[in-house]
Amino acid sequence: ILNVEQSPQSLHVQEGDSTNFTCSFPSSNFYALHWYRWETAKSPEALFVMTLNGDEKKKGRISATLNTKEGYSYLYIKGSQPEDSATYLCAFENNAGNMLTFGGGTRLMVKP
């Protein structure tokens, strides 16, 4: 059983605060690390797919980094807005490429 862990489980921040959360995953048999954003009553939406050690990806105010050697990825949100409130999921894809193994998610709540 692959161990993909996310921390913290939940996070409350004020509008305008910057925040970050962590995803840890197995460092062996790595192929890709996916980040998803899941708003209530909607489908999980893909944010990033990261494959290279040291990679950094950015979409608007959200960015992510990847360290495959030590098995972690950080997701950063700069200047959080209430519409950023969602559960952020990371998922590990091994080099067999059969499926995504998800972490438990970080639930972010941004207060106006």
* 18 to 57: interface string for another protein, x by CB under 8 A: -------------xx-x-x----xxxxxx--x-x------
Locate the DSSP E strands across the chain: 5-7, 10-14, 19-24, 30-38, 45-50, 56-59, 62-67, 72-77, 86-94, 100-102, 106-111
* CB-based contact 104:3 (threshold 8 Å): no
Closest to another protein by CB, 46 or 109: 46
For residue 54 the two structure tokens come to 């040291």
Site string for another protein, 81-110 (x = CB under 8 A): --------x-x-x---xxxxxxxxx-----
Q: Which residues bind another protein (CB under 8 A)?
A: 4, 6, 9, 31-32, 34, 36, 41-46, 49, 51, 89, 91, 93, 97-105
